[in-house]
Structure 1
Amino acid sequence: MRTFKAQLYEICDEVSSQFSGWSFVSGQFKNRTLKHTDLVIDPGFGFERGTTPVQPSVCIDNKRAQKLCKYVFGANASTSIVNLQTVSHLLQQTPEELRLGFWIVQDRKEFLSVGQPSQIAQGRILDITEARCALIAMMQDGIAFIDNHYELGSEDGLLKGLPAKYTTRHVNSPYDQMEKFKGVMVCIAHILYGDFDFVERYQSDDFNTLFPKRTDDLDRIIAKLPEFKKRFAETGIAI
């Protein structure tokens, strides 16, 4: 008998086939048609006893940015990440009651019989037999957000266009594209197209952020700037 996870992954495979260039790989929807960057829609699955939340985000994985990130920090990271809950007011295809995330369960009737969730919560709980339509809507909204907020025509245009510009759904959902490690990755993007001064400008007190900056990470980048500058002057690429 197939597990709940296997059943849902089979549905995800079928959903991905509805969108040209997309596939379902390792729990994420991916588009690898661009040579320089992978586009990702991560549903945010977290399986536990026949249930999983769906908390989707879009990720932009530029290959050179990931290479530079791994060189400096020893690990990869997405070049840009946007949680779709943050921009729920921009979503058009996902039903309104599901735009802040939802749950897929193996047996909704049995799941609801165990507890007594509110009517609002009940509206955000889908039986696995209902998952396909919700996941298709998630993909449509994710792809639309990527198309509308990232310059995909060229790698240089993509990097120079970061961070993605958008409004958030609520004052309590701050625009966070320059915060924490997301801000570090914007610095990585600037280095890739030769803007080496940006890192120190971002680290300075003149550049305001909501949360404390990751100064240790920024110091590690700054320590390697002479190397990146030299290579860029000689070859036109930082790494």
Structure 2
Amino acid sequence: MKHTDLVIHPGFGFERGTTPVQPSVCIDNKRAQKLCKYVFGASASTSIVSLQSVSHLLQHTPEELRLGFWIVQDRKEYLSVGQPSQIVQGRTLDISGARSALISMMQDGIAFIDNHYELGTEDSFLKGLPAKYTTRHVNSPYDQMEKFKGVVVCIAHILYGDFDFVERYRSDYFKTLFPKRTDDLDKIIAKLPEFKKRFAETGAVI
């Protein structure tokens, strides 16, 4: 898309012929990334969702692989070490047979994006954040307003002229599970006069 890159990240980390597959959906709005870099000195994804946290919503990935799996260069040799459990065996794929699992992972990522983001226009996408979904388990909390993810949602609000949201989010009235990134929020708040002036003059913050 012109305004936003849609990425399905497999979570690869190859080492000695093995890699975990821990996929996530990463949505990168170009203006949000640019504003993040302006405020914080580094860009960040506009929305990130681990597919493991929404494994109950996946339909294409085989059930035993929905919480992640391993791809190994030689499955037989890999499983010959120790006494791996049935769960480990079921989640370990030989590299020669991993193609269908990776295709399924991509299909689930695409389906999640289609079902949880408003992508018709950039404005509708930004106003639809954060993505709304249920998580698979109480130990996998909904985290779209937590830590730096919450900071980036504030950035998204600023892009379409909602300058009050960041102060509401920073206040004690807005409850989060984890401590808020108040230092980062204060950096945004310090620049609000500049952002408001620019938005009034040009209709855009950046």
Give the TM interval when normalised to the shorter protein.
Answer: over 0.9
Give the 4+ runs in structure 1 shifted more than 2 A. none
In structure 2, the partner of 1:220 is 187
1:37-86 Cα distance to aligned partner (Å, 9 max, x none): 00000000011100000000001000000000000000010000000000
Report sequence identity in percent.
Answer: 89
Shift of 1:117: 1.2
Name the counterpart of 1:126: 93
CA offsets 1:110-132 (integer angstroms, 9 cap, x no match): 10112321011110000001110
Letter in 1 for 2:10: P
Amino acid of the structure 1 residue aligned with 2:106: M
State how 1:135-146 maps to structure 2 within 5 Å. 135-146=102-113
Unaligned runs of 5+ in 2: none
- Residue 176 of structure 1 corresponds to which residue in structure 2? 143
| Structure 1 unmatched runs, 5+ | 1-33
1:233 aligns to what? Answer: 200
User: 1:15 corresponds to which residue?
Assistant: none
Structure 2 match to 1:101: 68
Residue 4 of structure 1 is matched in structure 2 by none
Tell me the SS of whatever aligns to 2:25: strand
Say how many residue pairs are matched. 206
Q: Normalization by structure 1: what TM-score? A: 0.86
Higher RCO, Cα 8 Å, sep 6+: 2
Q: Secondary structure at the match of 1:52?
A: strand
In the aligned structure 1, how far is the partner of 2:122 from the partner of 2:84?
47
- Secondary structure of the structure 2 residue equivalent to 1:182: helix
| Cα displacement (A) at 1:226 | 0.6
Q: Distance between the aligned counterparts of 1:130 and 1:88, measured in 2? A: 22
Could you give the per-residue CA deviations for residues 164-213 of structure 1, whole angstroms, max 9, x where no partner exists? 00000011110000000000000000000000000000000000000000
Task: Provide the aligned C-alpha RMSD in A.
Answer: 0.5
Q: Does 1:89 align with 2:56?
A: yes
Give yes or no for the alignment of 1:116 onto 2:83.
Answer: yes
Task: Give distance in 2, aligned partners of 1:202 and 1:120.
Answer: 41
* Equivalence map 1:148-167=2 (5 Å): 148-167=115-134
Give the letter for the 1:228 counterpart. F
1:201 is aligned with what amino acid? Answer: R
For residue 133 of structure 1, what is the amino acid of its counterpart? Answer: S
- TM-score under structure 2 normalisation? 0.99
Residue number in structure 2 paired with 1:211: 178
Residue 48 of structure 1 pairs with residue 6 of structure 2: no
CA positional deviation for 1:150: 0.2
Letter in 2 for 1:165: K
